[in-house]
Amino acid sequence: MNSNKLKYVVAVDRFGSLTAAAEVVHITQSALTKAIADIEETVGFALFERRSRGVVATAEGRAFLDRAARVVEDLEQLVADARSAKGLHDLKMRIGVCPPSLVSLLNIALPKVLNLHPGVCIEQTAGWIEQSIHHLANRDIDLLVGPMPHIQRYGDQFTLHPLPPLEICFFVRKGHPLCGKSEIEVAHLSDYPMALADRSVASPELIYQLFGSREVPPDKQLHIINHFSSACRIVASSDTIGTVAASYRNNAAFLRKFTPLDTVDTVSPVPLVAAYHSRFLPSPPIRTLVGLLESEAHWAEG
């Protein structure tokens, strides 16, 4: 697909007008109309629908145009980097994290990456596991840090670097009924509502430890909260039990508001990986970050 035509349809979407877009990209309106028709013929659906005051994206066109805008941005960045003689170390580094509570594990690594590659621009996002894998497959992110069982299902599409497993910690509000128990078994936690950062945390092993079966009981009140601070608010205002990385046991600000639960039986850790697309060589900053995350000593600092 012609990259110029992508620029043209992105301009139409941005300005909502064929006339305005044609002026910005310096082509005639008839040439612009033909470019739109060519792309629509290629993808098999209409990108825009006409309105009295211009054009708007169709439902199918919206997803395509959003992706096209990212592709155009990447192409423009590539050209700008080449013209300014920048190397790979100055490229943008886009990192996805799942579940969101894992972002704290990058707190030590990212400043070190910036010290070693001072020109790099970092974009860090956190999201659902399936959404994050989709972004990695589409090259919308360069690296994904997340649970191994879900990512390795995609076979050779991704290159995986095993990381130290995620030790899970349960936590509750101050004054929660469980705070008064001298011994707490994991099974006791099933008596209360629970909040997980992502379904990927709910491994079959953990579900079995909690409920004695491989599936969550249908009557269980289970919250899936992608935003960690929102999950904390729910835990703080109810008897809901939250989950977080065990490193939070050493977080003074966290301990002022919440109480980690010490269970007499251990909870199965979640195996983690750092993954990037196998068809593309990772940039030097990505390789540096993966090396830091692979280090047990580094995680101990976090």
Write the pLDDT tens digit of every residue in 20-33: 999 999 999 999 99
- Domain boundary residue, one of 83, 101, 128: 83
pTM of the predicted structure, to 2 decimals? 0.61
Please give the full DSSP string across 190-241, using - where no structure is assigned: GGS-EEES-GGGS-HHHHHHHHSSSS--TT--EEE-SSHHHHHHHHHTSS-E
- Going residue by residue through the chain, which has 302 residues, state the pLDDT in tens, using 9 for 90 and above: 788 899 999 999 999 999 999 999 999 999 999 999 999 999 999 999 988 888 999 999 999 999 999 898 888 877 776 665 555 445 789 999 987 767 777 888 999 999 999 888 999 988 788 889 999 999 899 999 998 988 998 888 999 999 988 888 899 999 999 988 888 888 888 889 988 876 666 666 777 777 777 777 788 888 888 777 888 999 999 999 998 888 788 889 999 999 999 888 777 788 899 999 998 888 889 999 999 998 854 444 44
pLDDT at residue 298 in the model: 46
Residue 157, domain member (yes or no): yes
pLDDT at residue 200 in the model: 66
pLDDT at residue 245 in the model: 80
Write the pLDDT tens digit of every residue in 216-245: 778 888 888 877 788 899 999 999 999 888
Nearest C-alpha neighbor of 127 from the set 145, 112, 115: 145
Residue 186, domain member (yes or no): yes
Give the total number of structural domains in the chain.
Answer: 3
Residue 18, domain member (yes or no): yes
**Can you give the CATH number for the domain in which 102 is found?**
3.40.190.10
- Domain boundary residue, one of 83, 107, 133: 83
Which residue range is the domain that position 106 belongs to?
Answer: 88-165+270-301
Q: What b-and-e string marks burial along 129-156, b requiring 16 or more CB atoms within 10 Å of the CB?
A: beebbebbeeebbbbbbbbbebbeeeee
- Domain boundary residue, one of 83, 104, 132: 83
Same domain, 242 and 103: no
